[in-house]
Amino acid sequence: MVNAWWGPQLNALLGGLVVAAGAWLAWDSISLWGVFLIAGCVVGFLIWKGRTIGLVWAWATLLLGVESLVWPIVTMVQVRSITMEPTDEQMGTILSAALTGLVSAVFWITFSYGFFKRAGQPFVAPSTETTGTPTPMVRSGRSRRNK
């Protein structure tokens, strides 16, 4: 496990690159400078909010989920700016963006929820010491019937 001071910062850089790549894939009309600007803003945000590596990736996956939710909307706006009445091919593109965006958004937001939930629980290391007392057995309230 990495316990160095640069652990969360390095992961924030990697998370920022992942989110910027997701933005570049979602909006194919973004320039290279726009991708660098998004990556810089996301890295700054992740360094600010992510005190641990788990929180860095929780925020990064949440941002990927939000990107996935926005992607179909951006696709609809792009098609609408091209023409008032979309063709069947453009409608297929919108449908595929909506379905893919919804599925991936649910995945990334659920993944993020798991990271946030895990980050809220304290880490308990397993004890290596063995105790001389046996562990008590927990019995249910119902009695067993002999047949």
The answer to whether residue 115 sits within a structural domain is yes
Residue 75's nearest CA partner among 31, 32, 29, 36 is: 29
Range(s) of the domain holding residue 106: 7-120
The answer to whether residue 135 sits within a structural domain is no
* pLDDT tens-digit map of 8-47: 899 999 999 999 998 888 877 788 899 999 999 999 999 9
- pTM, 2 dp: 0.74
* pLDDT tens-digit map of 63-107: 999 999 999 998 888 888 888 888 999 999 999 999 999 999 999
The answer to whether residue 136 sits within a structural domain is no
The answer to whether residue 67 sits within a structural domain is yes
- Total count of domains within the chain: 1
Torsion of CA 93, 94, 96, 99, to 10 degrees: 170
The answer to whether residue 90 sits within a structural domain is yes
Triad 140, 146, 147: Cα angle to 5°: 135
The answer to whether residue 141 sits within a structural domain is no
The answer to whether residue 54 sits within a structural domain is yes
The answer to whether residue 133 sits within a structural domain is no
Distance CA 42, CA 32 (A): 15
Q: Are 64 and 19 in contact (CB under 8 A)?
A: yes
